[in-house]
Structure 1
Amino acid sequence: MSRVEGLFKNLTTVKNARNGRLASWDQRGKNQDYWEIPANETITLGEVEGPGCITHIWMTSSCRRVKAPAILDPVLNASAAPVMEIGAALGVIFDDYDPFYYRKALIRITWDDQDTPSVLAPLGDFFCIGNGYPGNFSSLPFNVSLKPEEAGRYGAPCSVSCYFPMPFNKKAKIEIVNENELPFILYFNIDYEMYREPLDPDTAYFHACWNRQNPCKGWGPELLVNSPEVNNVTNYKGENNYVVLDAEGEGHYVGCNLSVRHYQGSWWGEGNDMIFIDGEEYPSLNGTGTEDYFNHAWGMQRNAYPFFGTIVHEGDTDGFHVAYRFHITDPIHFSKSLKVTIEHGHANQLSDDWASTAYWYQKLPTAKKLTILPVEQRLPNVPIWPERHLEKPELTDEMKKAIEAYNKRWEEYKPAREEQFRIKEEKCRRESKLNTEFAKKLRDEYDKE
C-alpha cells in the first residue's frame, strides 16, 4: 500500500487501466475534425462500456446564421478549415453569431442502465458560461479559454474543459440536444479510462443540473438594499430562497456556478447561503452573504482561483455577474437528501434573474429525475436596441440593378451553402455511430488481453 499523500498521489502508482477517447476527428482521414450538430436533433457523442471513468472533456463550438451571399465558392469553402466561423471577413462572408446557442443546446449524460440522465444542463452553463457570455477563467475542475478579440460577445466561440472524474460501472452515454433552429459546429475530445474490475459498490457518480428563477420572488425589490427596514426582516427556514440543488440519495455536493442579472442597480449579493442536510427543517449550514459563500468579501472581485472566483464581473458587463465555488476539499455530505439554497437579497428581498449549475456525486440510482426549463425560458435577458424606421432615398437605375444582382446571387448562394450543412450533418450522424462502435471494439480488445 502506498504511503504517498497529496493531490497528485495517483501519479505515483502504476494503474491497471487502458485509455480511450471519443472525439470529433474526421474518420475519413481528412481535416474536417468537427461535427455539424443538426438543428432540433439529439446527437450521441458516444457510448462507452464500463467499468471506466471519464477523466477529461474538452470542447469548442460555434453557431452562426448565414445572413448574406459570400463571394467564396460554397462547396470549396465547406472543405476549408472553418476559420470563417470564428472571424468572418466583411465583404467576403457575412455570417453572424447566434448569441444564445449556449443556452439552446444541452449536454446530457446517462450512467449505466438508468433510464434518466444524471447530467442535464445547457451546454454553456455546464462549462460555466453564464448567460451565453464566455469569460476567461481557470479553476481546478473547469476552465474557459477565449480569444481577446472575442471577449464581450454573447455566443462567442471559446474552448472549454471539465476535469471532474466521472466513473461508470456499465455504460456512459454522452449526448448533445440541440434545441435550436440552427445547426452548430462542435469539436470535442472526451478522454476516459477502462478498468478490468467492477467499481466498488459505494462508488459515487457525477451529477450536474441547471436551475433558473426569472424573476426570483422578491418581497421588496423597490426598497434599497441594506436599508434598516430590509435588514430587520427575519428568515430562518429559507422560504422562497433560490434553490441551487435539491437532491435525494446518498452523496456529496461539490459546488456550483451562479449567474445573476441584477435590476435594482445597488447590490445583489446580500443573501445568505442556507443548506439543509437530510431533510432538516432549519438549515444546519448558514452563511453570511452570497459574496462570502463564493469566498469574496465586500462585494465581488475580479479574480479566478482553483476553488472560487469571478468569471464575468458585473462592473464589466451590461449588468450581470458569473461566479463559481467548488467544494473539492470540503464537500458537503448527505445520506438522505440535500437542499442547497441562497437568499436573493437579504430575506429574499430582490427580484433578480438567477441561474445556476450544481455539481455533486451520489450513488445510483439518480433518485430525483432531472428536469430543465423549455428553451424559450432558458434564453438570457439582454438589452434590446430600439426599433429603427428607415427611409430610403429615390433609387437610381444603378442602385436598382445592384439590389437585383445581390438578390439573385443570394438565391443561388443560400441553397448551395445549406446543402453543405446537410452533408456535414449526415457526416455527424454517421460518425456518431462509428464512435460508439470504435469504443466497443476498444473495450473488447482490452477485455481479451
Structure 2
Amino acid sequence: MPGPLANIMQLQNKVKTKRISSYDRTGGNKDFIRLAPGETVELASIEGAGIVKHIWMTLNTQDKFIRRNAVLRMYWDGEEEPSVLSPLGDFFGQGWGEEYNFASLPLAAAPHQGRALNCYFPMPFGAGARITLENDSESELASLYYYIDYERHESIPDSLGRFHAWWNRELTEVRPEEGETEWGVVAPQGNNATDRHNYVFADIEGKGHFVGLNYYVDSPGPMWYGEGDDMWLIDGEDWPGSLHGTGTEDFFNSSWCPNEVYSHPYFGYARVPDKLGWMGRTHCYRFLLEDPVYFDKSLRASIEHGHDNSLTLDLATVAYWYQAEPHKPFPAIANREGRANMKPIGFMDVHRWRHAWRQSMGGGATLWGDETKTEKKE
C-alpha cells in the first residue's frame, strides 16, 4: 500500500499548480476579505478540470459562534446542489462553535488555539468547481484569510470520485418502553435488532466509498454515551448488514470508555469534558483512509445513541466520502437557531437532581445517595 510520499518524486505532465487566496490585490497588507451579515461570498470559481489539494482559512469577528454560523458549500462540475454542506467549524474539526487544537492526517485546526483551519482531502473536478461561504450571523465577518491550492489538469478520469461532506444533527430520543438508562442501571434494557432508531450519519445513493467521520456528542448526564454500535447497510441490504460494530469507542479505535485527549493521524479524541463522568462535550474522529467502506448503489450508516438507543444526546456529525455524481441532494441545513448549542449542564443542575431524588426517597435527614427505597436511612 503506497504511503503519502510514495509518488512525491513522480514528474507530472501538463499539470499546473494554482492558488486562489485573499491576498491584497493592491499589493498592500490587507490580505483578507469581509463578509457582511447574511452575505454569501464565492471564495473560488474554477473552470475546467483539476484537483483542489489544500484549503487553509482563519477568520475574525465579534460573533463568538461564527464557526457554527458560517456555512461552507462546495459544488463540482456545474451542479446546482452542493456536494459539501456544513458549518465551517464542524467541517474542519471544531465542534460547538469552539476553538481548540485538532490534528489528523486530512484535517487540522492549528495554533493559535486551533484558529488555523486546514483541509488536505483531495477534491477532483472535471468541469469546474465552486466554493462559497455564507455568513449566517448578525455580525460582520471582519476578516477572512484563505488559501485554496489546486492543480489544473487537461482532464480528470471518470474513475475519480467527487468529494462530499454532510453535517447532520439530532437531539436523540430514548425508547419510551425503557426510558433513559445504560448498563441496566435504572431499568432493564432490550435487544436492538434493527437500525431504525439509530442516529444516521450517512444516507447516500450512488457508487462511492466512505472515508471519515467527525462525531460531536454533548451528553446531558454523566453516564457513558458510547455503548452504541455502528451499523452499515450497503447497497440496500437488510440488518445486520456487512459491517456491524461493538461500541462507539471501538469504532473510533479506542477502548474502555476513554475520557482523555488523544491524537492519531487516523483517529482520536480532540476534545473531552472535565465534568462528572462523561457529562459534556466530546469530539471523536475516525478517518478510514486505509479501509474505506465501498458501496455500488447506496450506503446507510448509523450508530446507536447508547445501547438500544437508550440515551438523550445532542449528536452532530460531519461525514466525508467520495462518489460518482450526481448525488442525492442533502436536506436543507438547520437554521441558525437549529445549529445553536444546548444549554450546558452544571453543578447546580446536578444538585437539583439530588434534591428531586431526596424527595422521591421521602426526604430523610441523612440520605447519602446510594440508598434504594427498601434500605433508605432516616
**TM tier relative to shorter chain:** 0.7 to 0.9
Shift of the 312–228 alpha-carbon distance from structure 1 to 2, 3 Å rule, reads closer
SS at match of 2:8: helix
| Residue matched to 1:346 | 307
Shift of the 322–384 alpha-carbon distance from structure 1 to 2, 3 Å rule, reads closer
Q: Structure 1 length normalisation: TM-score? A: 0.72
| Residue matched to 2:136 | 179
Q: Structure 2 length normalisation: TM-score? A: 0.85
- Post-superposition offset of 1:50: 2.2
2:88 aligned with 1:123: yes
| Residue matched to 1:416 | none
Q: How many residues are treated as equivalent by the alignment? A: 339
Which of residues 160, 169, 174 is equivalent to 1:218? 174
User: Do 2:180 and 2:312's aligned partners in 1 also have CA atoms closer than 8 Å?
Assistant: no
For 1:236 and 1:384, the matched residues in 2 are separated by 32
- Post-superposition offset of 1:56: 0.2
User: Do 1:312 and 1:321's aligned partners in 2 also have CA atoms closer than 8 Å?
Assistant: yes
- Post-superposition offset of 1:234: 1.1
User: Do 1:248 and 1:368's aligned partners in 2 also have CA atoms closer than 8 Å?
Assistant: no
Which of residues 312, 318, 322 is equivalent to 2:271? 312
| Residue matched to 1:383 | 344
| Residue matched to 2:290 | 329
2:298 aligned with 1:359: no
Identity %: 40
Greater fraction helix: 1
| Residue matched to 1:18 | 16
- 1:271-310 pair list within 5 angstroms: 271-282=228-239, 283-300=241-258, 301-310=260-269
For 1:24 and 1:54, the matched residues in 2 are separated by 16
| Residue matched to 1:208 | 165
- Post-superposition offset of 1:318: 7.3
Which of residues 239, 259, 271 is equivalent to 2:196? 239
For 2:317 and 2:28, the matched residues in 1 are separated by 39
For 1:293 and 1:233, the matched residues in 2 are separated by 22
Shift of the 31–231 alpha-carbon distance from structure 1 to 2, 3 Å rule, reads farther
Note the alpha carbon deviations across 1:333-363, whole angstroms, 9 max, x for none: 0001001100000010001100000000000
For 1:101 and 1:228, the matched residues in 2 are separated by 39
| Residue matched to 1:252 | 209
Larger Rg computed on CA atoms: 1
User: Do 2:221 and 2:279's aligned partners in 1 also have CA atoms closer than 8 Å?
Assistant: no
RMSD (Å), alpha carbons: 2.0
Shift of the 368–318 alpha-carbon distance from structure 1 to 2, 3 Å rule, reads same
Shift of the 230–166 alpha-carbon distance from structure 1 to 2, 3 Å rule, reads farther
Note the alpha carbon deviations across 1:232-252, whole angstroms, 9 max, x for none: 411121121001110100000
Note the alpha carbon deviations across 1:55-104, whole angstroms, 9 max, x for none: 0000111211xxxxxxxxxxxxxxxxxxxxxxxxxxxxxxxxx2211111
- Post-superposition offset of 1:208: 0.3
| Residue matched to 2:335 | 374
- Post-superposition offset of 1:230: 5.9
User: Do 2:81 and 2:329's aligned partners in 1 also have CA atoms closer than 8 Å?
Assistant: no
Shift of the 382–34 alpha-carbon distance from structure 1 to 2, 3 Å rule, reads farther
Note the alpha carbon deviations across 1:274-321, whole angstroms, 9 max, x for none: 111011221221101011111110112320100000111123797110
For 1:23 and 1:349, the matched residues in 2 are separated by 47
Equivalent residue letter for 1:23: S
SS at match of 1:125: helix
Which of residues 96, 107, 110 is equivalent to 2:75? 110
- Post-superposition offset of 1:370: 4.8
SS at match of 2:173: coil
Structure 2: which 5+ residue stretches go unaligned? 347-378
Note the alpha carbon deviations across 1:193-227, whole angstroms, 9 max, x for none: 0012x2112220000010000x2011268644212
